[in-house]
Amino acid sequence: VKLWHCADTRSFRVLWALEEIGLSYDIELMPFPPRAKVPGYLEINPLGTVPTFNDGLVTMTESSAIVHYLGTKYPDSGLAILPADPAYAEWLNWMYLSDATLTFPQTIVLRYGTFEPGRASNAADDYARWFLSRLKHVERKVSQADWLCGDRFTGADITVGYALLLASYLKLDARFPDAVSAYWARLKDRTAFQAAKKVQLIELAELLGTA
Ligand SMILES: N[C@@H](CCC(=O)N[C@@H](CS)C(=O)NCC(=O)O)C(=O)O
């Protein structure tokens, strides 16, 4: 399989899942935004976004859907909760919530708080508050259990966990409720999370010619 990736963007979900599964993969680490900085990338993905993921004849561009795909393709990884399991519906709900509900308001904060500061600061502040209030659902769950569903770590913890990574990049982590901070610490402690972070650094050093 091959992953087109930019450090700490949504494609980190896929990189982390690949490391959890222990699959070998090719990775193309690109400068952000690849739409503008990587000639030819629009041929691969007309939106210019990351991730782009290729598995033989299959190409996908939605990070949480790719984690879903990998989890069901490699069921022994435990990343997916399958339809026969009573926790299946809850798992799917977290998988969709991860991008549609959690990452969406963060995108506004990223754009107007980091990339284009001063253009719509009110929007950045409002959406930061909106994102933090949307964590209530996560807070309730992780105050009662270590992981989101099925009494074990799954792909839902990867997809939702990425929203916490992006929040820490946006310096919103200091405002996490205590139970969410503890959950975020558990996620960062995973061997595969750390391996994915390390792969990014190695690839970055190669990109900069300093390896
Ligand atoms: N819903 C998509 C969103 C993909 C997306 O927008 N990725 C961002 C990085 S987090 C991107 O590539 N932005 C660059 C651009 O829009 O040019 C997913 O979850 O994969």
Whether the CB of 33 sits within 6 Å of ligand 1: yes
51 Cα nearest atom in ligand 1: 20
Give distance in angstroms: CA of 85 to centre of ligand 1: 31
In 10 A of CB 53, how many CB atoms?
Answer: 27
Per-residue confidence band for 207, with pLDDT thresholds at 50, 70 and 90: confident
Residues 84 and 189: their CA atoms lie apart, in Å, by 30
Give the mean pLDDT of 52-68: 97
pLDDT at 202 exceeding the cut of 60: yes
36 Cα nearest atom in ligand 1: 17
Q: What is the pTM of this model?
A: 0.96
Phi, psi of 189 (to 5 degrees): -80, -10
Whether the CB of 200 sits within 6 Å of ligand 1: no
Per-residue confidence band for 45, with pLDDT thresholds at 50, 70 and 90: very high
Give the mean pLDDT of 45-74: 97
